Each structure stands twice: as structure tokens, then as C-alpha cells.
Amino acid sequence: MQHENYYNALDRLKINKPEILLKGSYKINQDTVALEAGRGRGSIKASRSQFKDLIDKIDEMGNEYNNKSLNKINKVQASADRYKTESEHFRTGYLAALNREMMLVRRVKDLEQQVIKLEAEQKVVHIRKD
């Protein structure tokens, strides 16, 4: 099939599972299909006869998908997905920081015990000015 990558991109956009564009942050048109297919804006042109069927299909899908209420729902879902991803990123960072702190607390405790042991053996002499 000629232009299979464009048709695959159109299908991904239709089901809101893009690989290149941000989920729900687009309207289906010739430019977004081209971008999702990994091509440049304007690479699908009506003046090129080989794109006639593709353009007709894009227009058909665009009219369905670009419904304003559906678009609002998609934008809200995209925002929710973005915040969920961001939240998970912060949660992972928080847990990593807690883990580092627990390791440092344990290391300080071990070092304090070594100092106490060395003091008991009188191998450590404290130098203080009184």
C-alpha cells in the first residue's frame, strides 16, 4: 500500500494512541498526520494526486475526531495523564531520597559505634582546649 506510514499514523491518531505527538493535544488534519508519520508539516499536499485518497480519509476522520466536546475530553485526559506521569516521577524521586537518607543514617550509626569502640580501646584521643 502506498503511503502506509501515513495511514498507520492516521489510525494511531484516531484511537488517541500517538507515538510522536502528545496524546490528546492535536486535531486530525494533514499536518498532524504528516508529523505523526515522522514527516514534515505540509508533506501531504492536495496538489499531489497520489494523496487524494489519504486526504479524503483524513478529512473524514478529522470531522469525526475534531468534535469540540470530544476534543475537550481528550485535552482533559491528556492533562490527567501528564499529571499522573509527573506525580509518579516525583514519587520515585521521593522514595529514592528516603532510601539515601536511611543509608546515611545507618552509616552514621556504624561510624559512631566504631568511634565508641576505639575510645574504649583508648586508640582515639580527643584533643580539646578547655
Amino acid at 82: R
Q: What confidence category does residue 28 fall into, taking pLDDT thresholds of 50, 70 and 90? A: confident
What is the per-residue pLDDT for 106? 98
Torsion 36-38-40-43 (CA) sign: negative
- Break the chain into its structural domains and give their ranges: 4-96
- Please give the model's pTM, rounded to 2 decimal places: 0.50
- Give the C-alpha separation, 25 to 14, whole Å: 12
pLDDT in tens, 35-57: 988 888 888 888 887 888 888 88
Residue 1 has pLDDT above 60, yes or no: no
What is the per-residue pLDDT for 75? 80
Amino acid at 63: N
Please state the separation of Cα 70 from the chain's center in Å: 22
